[in-house]
Amino acid sequence: MSRARRSMDWGFPRWRPYGSSQEATNVRICDRHGCDEPGDCPAPKAPNSRDRWYFCQKHAAEYNSKWDYFEGLEKAEKEERARAERQESAGYAESAHYGWAGSGDGSRSADEMRALEVLGLEADADFNTVKKAYRARAKEVHPDVKPGDAEAARQFQLIQTSYEVLRAAEERREWRG
């Protein structure tokens, strides 16, 4: 006759010891050939496709390193999709954990990149270069220099907005240290 054993199960799940569960855990393995790590990072198989690969973190980073989300779309479609995504995520703070890094290394947002493009600068331009370019471009199309020219006024407003975006980004970088 078998003797009754003392149970460690007190009837409440969190009091059970780790690994005491009897059922098997389903773990999806990385889709990269030869990798045995858990595949918990979904990645699209093709642009605009619902099919997904499931990679481990290392292989997902490798897969996404040269990924172009807007590949195959026309310029108007790209802008529309980017605008829709900004609108959807407007309530969330933009991830800024790269804020300590220097410019030109992926730390600039899409808005900053557009502002640099308006000023005719490269992605790695420092703020002194931005100031110089802003002043030079503003002098060319300032409403006092070209009175009554609607296109010049629009260009000046665009340049001024671009400078404000870059100035605010620089202030955020300086504030973080």
pLDDT in tens, 73-120: 888 998 898 888 777 766 555 554 444 444 445 667 888 889 999 999
Q: pLDDT of 5-63, one tens digit each? A: 666 555 555 555 666 565 656 788 898 889 999 888 888 887 677 888 899 988 888 88
Decide if 121 contacts 113 (C-beta within 8 A). Answer: no
Measured in degrees and rounded to the nearest 5, phi and psi for residue 150 equal -65, -40
Domain ranges of the chain: 41-93, 110-176
Q: Is pTM, for the whole model, over 0.85?
A: no
**Which architecture does CATH list for 110-176?**
Orthogonal Bundle (1.10)
